[in-house]
Amino acid sequence: MADVRKKVDKAINEVFEPEEPAMTAVATAKYVRISPRKMRLVADQVRGKDIAAARTLLNFSTRNAAGVINKVIGSAAANAENNHDMSADDLYVSSILVNEGPTLKRIRPRAMGRAFRVRKRSCHVTVELSARKEG
């Protein structure tokens, strides 16, 4: 009975105890005046790529969101090198989140005295870089 209990405890520990956490570097840009939907289109393209490949893709993209994401990736890479002693060659975009920020509400005059609401959306971009595991 004790052997079964030990096996069960060992199996539970393997499931619920994560392996050693990977080092990550994080950078955030807040209150960016670009719609989150437009920003996510670019973010989806670079998720999971090495930072060199991601920055090359962003440099040649025609979308305005690409410049913002490129800056945030550069900032996260600088954080990794200076704060965590990680090599920039091993880094990849492990996570990139685009959350909705506050919306500015403006009024657009229309015919016959009516007014339509214009929503100027903003977003928060968070990039997390991790080092690739060797092997």
Give residue-wise pLDDT tens across range 74-92: 999 999 999 989 988 899 9
90 and 131 Cβ atoms separated by less than 8 Å: yes
The reported pLDDT for the residue numbered 18 is 56
- Is the backbone of residue 48 left (phi > 0), alpha (psi -120 to 50) or beta? left
Residue 109 is assigned to a structural domain of this protein: yes
State yes or no: pLDDT of 21 exceeds 80.
Answer: no
CATH of the domain at 108: 3.90.470.10
The reported pLDDT for the residue numbered 80 is 94
Q: How confident is the model over 25-49, as a mean pLDDT?
A: 96
Residue 99 is assigned to a structural domain of this protein: yes
State yes or no: pLDDT of 108 exceeds 90.
Answer: yes
State yes or no: pLDDT of 115 exceeds 80.
Answer: yes
The reported pLDDT for the residue numbered 36 is 96
Q: Which domain holds residue 83?
A: 22-131
Confidence of residue 22 (pLDDT cuts 50, 70, 90): confident
Residue 3 is assigned to a structural domain of this protein: no
Confidence of residue 133 (pLDDT cuts 50, 70, 90): confident
Residue 8 is assigned to a structural domain of this protein: no
| Number of separate domains in the chain | 1
Residue 36 is assigned to a structural domain of this protein: yes
Residue 62 is assigned to a structural domain of this protein: yes
Average pLDDT along the chain: 90
The reported pLDDT for the residue numbered 19 is 56
The reported pLDDT for the residue numbered 17 is 54
Residue 1 is assigned to a structural domain of this protein: no
Q: How confident is the model over 101-106, as a mean pLDDT?
A: 97
